[in-house]
Amino acid sequence: MTTPINGVTSGFRDSAFTKNREHPVHRWVPWIAGFSSQFVDDCLSKYLKEVDPPSAWILDPFAGVGTTLIESYIQGFNVLGFEINPYAALASNTKLQAADTDPNALQAQIVRFKNFMDRRLASGNGNPKSLPPIGFSGRTELFAPSGERQVLFALDYINAIEAPAI
């Protein structure tokens, strides 16, 4: 649905980021200053319909959490973004990596992780290979020993995953 401004319809859907709450990857990180994925899609469709995506680049000098980069990448464009906010840059990078992740492979990995954790925690014997990070302490314990053991077993599993995006 296009948004009328002063009674005139622009042909673009609502640009407000709030619409991104409806989309799996975009809803991970709400970003008030961002555009909706639908608006970005409309812009790409309207202004770049004659462009061959694999031979073109989309530059986003203020990438935020990557909505423009993700939508462009999904449509086959090469993308390059800059972001000064480290949190937003991390979110954008993570979301871009997720765009190439096979959902079935991720689901299979989740099942393997659950089975791994069930086996490790049910046996009660054996110790994790991972160690708590240096400085992972304070005046009080961050985890009970059993909780720390679970976290360290989880790190063992995560560190053994060969697919970086997963």
Note whether 71 and 95 are within 8 A (CB).
Answer: no
User: Considering the entire predicted model, what is its pTM?
Assistant: 0.63
Q: Any idea which residue has 């009328």 for tokens?
A: 4
pLDDT for 117 equals 94
pLDDT digits (tens, 9 = 90+) for 32-74: 777 888 889 999 999 998 999 999 999 999 999 999 999 999 9
Query: For residues 74 and 77, what is the distance between their CA atoms, to the nearest angstrom?
Result: 7
Task: Decide: 70 and 95 in contact? Cβ < 8 Å.
Answer: yes
